[in-house]
Amino acid sequence: MLTQHRPSDHASSAHDRVYRQLRSRIMHGEVAPGQAMTLRGIGKEFEVSMTPAREAVRRLVAEGALFLSSSGRVSTPELTGDRIEELAALRALLEVELASRALPRAHMALIDRLQAINGNVTQAVESRDAVAYIRSNLEFHRTLYLRAQAPAMLAMAETVWLQLGPTMRALYGRFRKSEPPHFHRLMIAALKAGDEPGLRLAVRSDVTQGLRMLAG
């Protein structure tokens, strides 16, 4: 006998789809800092009713990806210098530890994969594509950190990336990168050599350097 989906199941899957797509968009810098949104606009774009749009926004507000004012205005947060500094420090703590835990499990196939992704980072820089740059840059980090087998820590790191997404877009626009990240090459070299201190230093430098310039 076929089971029918209840309306709540449909609403749940609709809100999940909106949540995932909006989350990806914010994390990868497709939305500028302070950009306003409306529930009606989100619902129209994703072809859902107000309820799934509201649920998706509520989850993203809880993760710090969106800001909801007392008047009901939804926007991406405009981070202060202090907040950027705090999130940069969090990235350094979490990502240095993730890389350190990944090092003993870093086989040649992983290193080859990281080099291939870094090629995509280079292409994005050369074509001045900010969103492609942020997307491939985060893919580089996530690919390494998955080897740490520390899912709770990686989830925390992704929440920080989510909160920083619009700011990373602003940062990219400000510095007009013309060459791929130097520290990615240092990270790969440290992985090949099994050099934990070198890896920790390269990761810390990579995740904080630009952000600290912006916070300053």
Position 177 scores a pLDDT of 58
From first to last of its 216 residues, the chain has per-residue pLDDT tens of 444 444 455 557 888 999 999 999 999 999 999 999 999 999 999 999 999 999 999 999 999 999 988 887 899 988 999 999 999 999 999 999 999 999 999 999 999 999 999 999 999 988 888 899 999 999 999 999 999 999 999 999 999 999 999 998 888 776 665 666 789 999 999 999 999 999 999 999 999 987 777 666
Position 131 scores a pLDDT of 92
CATH of the domain at 165: 1.20.120.530
Please give the residue range of the domain that contains residue 102.
81-215
Residues 104 and 71 in one domain: no
Reduced to 3 states, what is the DSSP secondary structure of residue 172? helix
Total tally of structural domains belonging to the chain = 2
Position 9 scores a pLDDT of 57
Residues 91 and 66 in one domain: no
Determine the Cα–Cα distance for residues 91 and 88; give it in Å rounded to an integer.
Answer: 5
User: What are residue 36's phi and psi, to 5 degrees?
Assistant: -85, 150
Cα–Cα separations (whole angstroms), residue 55 to 14, 19, 41, 176: 10, 8, 14, 36
Residues 152 and 96 in one domain: yes
CATH of the domain at 48: 1.10.10.10
Position 7 scores a pLDDT of 46
Residues 23 and 107 in one domain: no
Residues 87 and 23 in one domain: no
The letter for the amino acid at 150 is A
Position 72 scores a pLDDT of 78
* Residue 1 within any structural domain of the chain: no
Domain boundary among 75, 90, 117: 75
Domain boundary among 40, 75, 110: 75
Residues 102 and 13 in one domain: no
Position 70 scores a pLDDT of 83
Q: Dump strand ranges (E) for 12-76.
A: 36-37, 67-68, 74-75
Beta-carbon contacts of 47 under 8 Å, excluding residues fewer than 6 positions away, are none
| pTM (predicted TM-score) | 0.89
* Residue 58 within any structural domain of the chain: yes
Position 212 scores a pLDDT of 76
Structure tokens at 97: 């530890």
Domain boundary among 47, 75, 103: 75
